Amino acid sequence: MPITPSFQFVSKLPTDSALYALYGGTGRSQHVAYVGLSGNLRSRIRQHFLRRDSSIVTGTSAASLNPDLITRLEWWLSEKFEDRDYLQAAELIAFDRFEPALRSRGRITSEAEALAETTEVVEEIESLLEAGPTGTVDIPTLSDALSRIERLEGRIDQLEQKLEAIRDERS
């Protein structure tokens, strides 16, 4: 049974159409695991992390995404993403830029493929990506949680020792 952390950040995500990247690993080994798009970012991330019923997570193909190993989410918003063909074109351009281990499996329209070949759209999307994500969330790993627990246990031990010293003084 996978450990499912409390993904409280999901409720704070925008509901806009977005291009997003999910990262695995940490530090120098951090890498883009997946690039996708959504008409509602919050709903899509909820599907990946909480419901775990997105096609990329369910393991219905040879390669899939393990949400327990995702360490970072980045997303980009643009008013132009309301146009589904433009959003799909942005995703194709992002595939080339980020070279993710996995790509979304949605059907790309011929209109989106044509847009992704135009100099204007490529420059717009490259500029958007170069400017950095609209938002990011660092997702704690099990190792992060265990380190935090260890620090908290140390602090509790110190407090218990101080409390014991106070009790001894009063006796």
CA-wise closest residue to 21 among 84, 59, 65, 85: 65
Q: What pLDDT shows up at residue 4?
A: 44
Strands 31-38 and 102-103: parallel
Compute the distance between CA of residue 138 and CA of residue 154 in angstroms, rounded to an integer. Answer: 25
Compute the mean pLDDT over every residue in the chain, rounded to the nearest whole number: 88
pTM for this predicted structure: 0.79
Look at residue 44 and tell me whether its pLDDT is greater than 50: yes
Contact 88, 95 (CB under 8 A): no
Q: How far is CA 69 from CA 54, 80, 98, 151, in A?
A: 16, 31, 18, 22
Residue that the structure tokens 């393990």 belong to: 66
pLDDT tens for residues 67-126? 888 899 999 999 999 999 999 999 999 999 999 998 877 789 999 999 999 999 999 999
The CATH class for the domain spanning 8-139 reads alpha beta
Token pair, residue 9, equals 């950040």
Kindly state the tokens that stand for 136: 């990011």
pLDDT at position 50: 72
